[in-house]
Amino acid sequence: MDINEKDVLCRFETGGSNISETEGGNMDTGKIDRINELYHKSQSVGLSDEEKAEQAALRKDYIETIRRNMRANLNSISIQEKDGTVTDLGKKYGGVQDE
């Protein structure tokens, strides 16, 4: 395999980026099931105003959870350069501080 000077090897590290639901990281399956239930009900008989508000709140929470998890995954990426040095992209671009 030929590697030129611009090539780098990527090393993906999880670095404990899984966050428990109590810390706001993962959405439980009950909430996801409720999102799906409200969607199917909206397609068949429609939703009350209260159910529409609940659906909007659940969807917002779901999107925030996806964004938070994506950011944690991106911040845990390190790149090993050709010269052997390791660049932690979370520290360089994501504002991650040393612990």
pLDDT at 98: 72
Q: How far is CA 10 from CA 39, 78, 81, 85, in A?
A: 40, 7, 8, 12
Alpha-carbon gap, residue 14 to 22, rounded angstroms: 19
The pLDDT, as a whole number, for residue 63 is 93
Q: Where are the alpha helices (DSSP H) in the chain?
A: 29-44, 49-75, 89-93
Widest distance between CA atoms in the chain: 62
At 93, the pLDDT band (50, 70, 90 cuts) reads: confident
pLDDT digits (tens, 9 = 90+) for 2-52: 444 444 433 333 343 333 333 445 778 999 999 999 999 999 999 999 999
Distances (CA, A) of 42 to 46, 54, 84, 85, 88: 4, 12, 55, 54, 45
Q: What is the pLDDT of residues 78-87, one digit of tens each?
A: 998 899 999 8
Domains and CATH numbers, the chain: 27-77 (1.10.287.540)
The pTM of the full predicted model, rounded to 2 decimals, is 0.63
